[in-house]
């Protein structure tokens, strides 16, 4: 049996692709063979990602379906929403496995996607049947999947702590408040005035208030995992740091449930999981920066339960989760390339 999987990266000029390549370069069973960009002004990978100088000598190519699948077994598709679903079907038809970074296959139904994303879904037939890429919750489905919907960064920070608590009937579904802070890299590498240094440095702002598209993702995935009926009120805040997400989650315990039972439940559920650290300390983004860890703790105040979680938006929130999913899909040790 060949040990190396040939990997193609679509959308390789972006931030998540850079983090992905750095992880894959230390993966013993991966050979990166093809990388794509629409832009011809920078032929080599290291013209764009200068930190990869002398580490991987590849040329960008346009994604052309008559050539791209040659020499590729598995694709990491790092494109924006809708652009991704426009190509994923063709990649699958070419018999490639795909890990999709966008939100195109995360939700349960087309109507929700089109409502929250405001665009028509280019591959509507597949939506709802695709494995959601949190291996800690959906490992068995991921193992046998040809397409995995890699999770959103904010949803990962909320779903990881909440899922075991709902599954065990320890917390109430309403109210559920998820207050999150994110570093600027969460917005990707593409130019956007809001994310220019003088616009966001020395400032913190909420955005997507009452409208952010990660609300249905949190609700639907919790429902898929354990049948809960939440309506998460989620507000993200942009903070002047490169990377990291810190989520503070407020909810009520079920009657008769003590705070200790929540920590016990999380400790028990994640006991054998290498990337979720349930801790008595308060998590911080610095502790998880550049790693595939999600750190979680639980506190109580005046009858309200407060959960704090931290992860790196580009690692456990994107590329690290993708490599973890890749490992599960190919039967490799789940920590390869990640520890
Ligand atoms: N940044 C983060 O923290 C996270 C991002 N994600 C998701 O991962 C995906 C990639 O994000 P990120 O790397 O940050 O984004 P970037 O903006 O940094 O990169 C996007 C990539 O997609 C290509 N691209 C952009 N628009 C199109 C298009 N219309 N058609 C084809 N290619 C296009 C660009 O390549 P070029 O212009 O060279 O062709 C670029 O390589 C997105 O779906 C994002 O939502 C998920 C979790 C976290
Ligand atoms: C700062 C910033 O803009 N962050 C992005 C999060 C992107 C992400 O991680 O998730 P998706 O894959 O669902 O895009 C946002 O709030 O839309």
Kindly report, residue by residue over 34-67, the tens digit of the pLDDT: 999 999 899 999 999 999 999 999 999 999 999 9
Ligand 2 binding pocket, CB closer than 6 Å: 103, 152-153, 182, 186-187, 236, 238, 313, 317
Ligand 1 pocket test, pick from 36, 44, 79 with the greatest ligand atom count within 8 Å of Cβ, gives 79
Q: Which of 153, 200, 265, 294 is catalytic?
A: 153
Residue with the smallest CA separation from ligand 1 atom 15 is 188
The torsion region of residue 103 among left (phi > 0), alpha (psi -120 to 50) and beta comes to: alpha
Residue with the smallest CA separation from ligand 2 atom 3 is 187
- Provide mean pLDDT across the span 97-108: 98
Kindly report, residue by residue over 267-279, the tens digit of the pLDDT: 999 999 999 999 9
Structure tokens belonging to residue 271? 């006991």
Q: Cβ of 326: how many Cβ atoms within 10 Å?
A: 29
Cα(242)–Cα(106) distance, integer angstroms: 26
Which of 144, 145, 153, 150 is closest to 100 using CA atoms?
A: 150
Residue with the smallest CA separation from ligand 1 atom 4 is 186
CA 79–ligand 1 middle distance (angstroms) = 4
Q: Is the pLDDT of residue 1 over 80?
A: no
pLDDT at 333: 98
Residue 276, C-beta contacts closer than 8 angstroms, at least 6 positions apart: 136, 160, 270, 293, 294, 296
Is the minimum distance from the CB of 258 to ligand 1 under 6 angstroms?
no
Contact 250, 179 (CB under 8 A): yes
% the chain with pLDDT above 90 = 99
Closest approach atom of ligand 2 to CA 208: 16
* Domains along the chain with CATH numbers: 5-151+317-329 (3.40.50.720), 154-313 (3.30.360.10)
153 is an active site residue: yes
DSSP 59: B
Strands (E), the chain: 5-10, 30-36, 60-61, 74-77, 97-100, 131-132, 147-149, 171-182, 205-206, 233-238, 245-253, 276-278, 294-301, 304-311
Structure tokens belonging to residue 60? 């960008």
pLDDT at 282: 98
Distance of CA 212 to the CA centre of its chain: 16
Is the minimum distance from the CB of 63 to ligand 1 under 6 angstroms?
no
| pLDDT confidence tier of residue 3, bands split at 50, 70 and 90 | confident
Q: Is the pLDDT of residue 2 over 70?
A: no
- Is ipTM strictly over 0.90? yes
DSSP 3-state assignment of 267?
Answer: helix
């Amino acid at each position: 049996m060949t040990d190396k999987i040939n990997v193609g990266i679509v959308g390789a000029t972006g931030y998540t692709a850079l983090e992905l390549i750095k992880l894959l370069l230390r993966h013993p069973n991966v050979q990166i063979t093809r990388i794509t960009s629409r832009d011809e002004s920078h032929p080599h990978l290291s013209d764009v990602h200068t930190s990869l100088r002398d580490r991987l000598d590849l040329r960008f190519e346009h994604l052309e379906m008559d050539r791209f699948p040659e020499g590729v077994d598995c694709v990491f598709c790092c494109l924006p929403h809708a652009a991704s679903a426009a190509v994923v079907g063709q990649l699958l038809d070419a018999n490639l496995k795909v890990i999709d970074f966008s939100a195109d296959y995360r939700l349960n139904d087309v109507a929700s996607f089109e409502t929250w994303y405001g665009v028509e879904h280019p591959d509507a037939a597949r939506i709802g049947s695709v494995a959601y890429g949190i291996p800690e919750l959906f490992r068995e489905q991921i193992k046998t999947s040809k397409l995995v919907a890699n999770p959103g960064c904010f949803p990962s920070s909320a779903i990881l702590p909440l899922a075991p608590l709902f599954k065990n009937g320890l917390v109430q579904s309403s109210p559920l408040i998820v207050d999150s802070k994110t570093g600027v890299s969460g917005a990707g590498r593409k130019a956007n005035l809001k994310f220019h240094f003088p616009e966001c440095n020395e400032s913190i702002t909420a955005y997507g208030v009452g409208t952010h598209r990660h609300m249905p993702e949190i609700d639907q995935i919790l429902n898929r995992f354990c049948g809960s009926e939440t309506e998460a009120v989620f507000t993200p805040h942009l903070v002047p740091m490169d990377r990291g997400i810190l989520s503070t989650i407020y909810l009520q315990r079920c009657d008769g449930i003590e705070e200790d039972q929540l920590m016990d439940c999380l400790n028990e559920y994640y006991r054998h999981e290498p990337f979720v650290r349930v801790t008595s300390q308060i998590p911080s983004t610095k502790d998880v920066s550049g790693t595939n860890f999600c750190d979680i703790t639980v506190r109580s105040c005046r009858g309200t339960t407060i959960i704090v979680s931290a992860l790196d938006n580009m690692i456990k929130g994107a590329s690290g989760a993708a490599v973890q999913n890749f490992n599960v899909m190919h039967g490799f040790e789940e920590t390869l390339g990640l520890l």
